[in-house]
Amino acid sequence: MTLPEPGIWGPVLAILAMALATYLCRISGVVLMGFIPLTPHVRRGLAALPGSIIAATVLPLIERLGPAAAVALLAAIGSMVLRRSELLALLVGMGTIAGLRALGF
């Protein structure tokens, strides 16, 4: 017996499959860590994880997006150091990239 083709339900099924995959990503880290004892090593590893996720996400993306993006990001970090406002950092970063791209960078 073969499964009938998705047909008109294709787009909805594709969205449901994406939703399932994403929900599994959301819960699996929490479920997995439930089985790992919190030894001092694991605790230190978890403490280093948030900054590591950020660095591992941002650096390659910036490398792909180019120098204008790097400048915009440094501007955003600088504003965050001075003012500690995520909103301002976003405005500074987006303003910088929009300006640089408008100038042809």
Partner 1 sequence: MGHAAFPVSAAGMLLGIRRVSVLMPGVIIFAVAFGAAASAKGLSLFETLLMSALVYGGISQLIALELWRPEWSWGGIVALAALTATVNARMVLQGASLQPWFAHYPKSLNAFHLFFFTDANWVIGTRYHTEGGRDLGVLIGAGLALWLVWILFTIPGHALGALMADPRRLGIDLVLPIFFAAMIVPLWRGKRAAVPWLVAGIVALVTSKLVDGYAFIIVGSLSGALVGAFTDDAA
- Interface of this chain with partner 1, residues 15 to 74, rule: CB under 8 A: 15-30, 32-34, 38, 41-65, 69, 72-73
User: Residue for token digits 């915009």?
Assistant: 72
Nearest approach, Cβ of residue 45 and partner 1 (Å): 3
Nearest approach, Cβ of residue 58 and partner 1 (Å): 5
Using a CB cutoff of 8 Å and minimum separation of 24, what contacts does 6-9 make? none
Of 39, 82, 76, nearest in space to 54 by CA: 76
Nearer to partner 1, 1 or 38 (CB): 38
Residues between 75 and 104 with contacts to partner 1, criterion CB under 8 A: 76-77, 80-81, 84-87, 89-91, 93-94, 97-98, 101
Of 37, 97, 38, 39, nearest in space to 68 by CA: 97
